[in-house]
C-alpha cells in the first residue's frame, strides 16, 4: 500500500506503527508465553533496523502540514521505541501527542492512555482525575485495563498504548535511533511542526 501511495502520510504512518510494534516482538513474551510489560522488556532484543525504518517514516510523516491519527500513534510509538531505558521515556511528549490525538480522534482508550502519561508526568492523582471521566462510558465498563490503571496509575506506563499490543505506543525522540541522528535537519523540522501543532490544538 505504501508503495502505491508513497505520498500518503497516514499510510506511511500506519506502516511506521507496524514496524515499530514488530521491532519488539522478540522481547514481548517470556519463555512460557507470558506477556512482558514494555518497561520490563530486554531492549537489547529489540530490532534496531525496524526501529530505524519506522522512526524515519514517522519523522517524515509528522512533518506534514496536517496530522492524522496514525501519524500521532506512530509518533508515540517512536518516542517509546527510541528511549534507551524505560525511565528515559519522554512522557511529557507522549502526553502532548495523546492530547492532540484525543481531540482529532476521540476515543475512551486514547483518554485512558493519556491518563497513563499524565500520571507519569504529574503524579497518580492527576491520572486518576482524568480517568474519572471514563467512569460512565459504557465502552469501558468492566474493561480490565481501566481497572488496572485505577489500581496503579503511576506504574501504568507498562500498559499498551493505542495501536499496540504490548505497551508501546513524539517529536523530540523521533530523530533518534539508539542515540544516533536519523538524518540531517530532522530534529528542527519535527520541533517546528510540534510547536505549530501544539499552538493549533492548545496542548
Q: Does residue 194 have a pLDDT over 60?
A: no
Whole-number pLDDT of residue 184? 33
Ordered alpha helix ranges (H), the chain: 9-22, 25-28, 48-62, 69-81, 91-104, 108-122, 124-131, 144-151, 186-201
Q: Does residue 65 have a pLDDT over 90?
A: no
The per-residue pLDDT for range 140-184, each reduced to its tens digit, is 877 777 877 777 655 544 443 333 334 333 333 343 322 323 333
Whole-number pLDDT of residue 172? 37
The per-residue pLDDT for range 68-96, each reduced to its tens digit, is 999 999 999 999 999 999 899 999 999 99
Strand partners, 35: 29
Whole-number pLDDT of residue 95? 96
Q: Which residue has the cell 525496524?
A: 50
Whole-number pLDDT of residue 3? 55
Categorize the per-residue pLDDT at 192 as very low, low, confident or very high, splitting at 50, 70 and 90. very low
Average pLDDT, the chain: 76
Whole-number pLDDT of residue 134? 85
Whole-number pLDDT of residue 154? 54
CA dihedral angle for residue 20, residue 26, residue 31, residue 34, rounded to 10 degrees? 10
Categorize the per-residue pLDDT at 52 as very low, low, confident or very high, splitting at 50, 70 and 90. very high
- Dmax over CA atoms of the chain, in Å, equals 48
Q: Which residue has the cell 508513497?
A: 6
Whole-angstrom Cα distance, residue 21 to residue 164?
6
Whole-number pLDDT of residue 102? 95
Quote the percentage of the chain above a pLDDT of 90. Answer: 45
- What number is the average pLDDT over the span 102-126? 92
Amino acid at each position: 500500500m505504501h508503495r502505491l501511495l508513497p505520498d500518503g502520510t497516514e499510510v506511511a504512518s500506519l506502516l511506521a506503527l507496524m514496524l515499530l510494534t514488530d521491532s519488539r516482538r522478540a522481547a514481548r513474551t517470556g519463555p512460557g508465553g507470558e506477556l512482558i510489560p514494555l518497561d520490563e522488556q530486554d531492549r537489547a532484543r529489540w530490532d534496531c533496523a525496524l526501529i530505524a525504518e519506522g522512526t524515519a517514516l514517522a519523522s517524515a510523516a509528522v512533518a506534514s502540514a496536517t496530522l492524522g491519527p496514525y501519524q500521532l500513534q506512530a509518533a508515540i510509538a517512536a518516542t517509546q521505541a527510541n528511549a534507551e531505558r524505560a525511565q528515559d521515556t519522554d512522557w511529557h511528549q507522549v502526553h502532548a501527542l495523546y492530547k492532540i490525538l484525543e481531540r482529532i480522534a476521540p476515543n475512551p482508550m486514547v483518554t485512558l492512555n493519556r491518563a497513563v502519561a499524565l500520571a507519569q508526568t504529574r503524579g497518580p492523582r492527576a491520572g486518576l482525575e482524568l480517568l474519572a471521566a471514563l467512569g460512565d462510558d459504557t465502552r469501558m465498563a468492566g474493561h480490565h485495563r481501566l481497572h488496572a490503571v485505577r489500581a496503579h496509575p503511576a506504574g501504568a506506563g507498562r500498559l499498551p498504548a493505542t495501536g499496540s499490543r504490548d505497551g508501546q505506543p513524539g517529536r523530540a525522540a523521533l530523530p533518534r535511533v539508539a542515540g544516533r541522528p536519523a538524518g540531517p535537519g530532522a530534529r528542527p523540522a519535527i520541533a517546528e511542526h510540534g510547536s505549530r501543532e501544539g499552538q493549533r490544538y492548545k496542548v
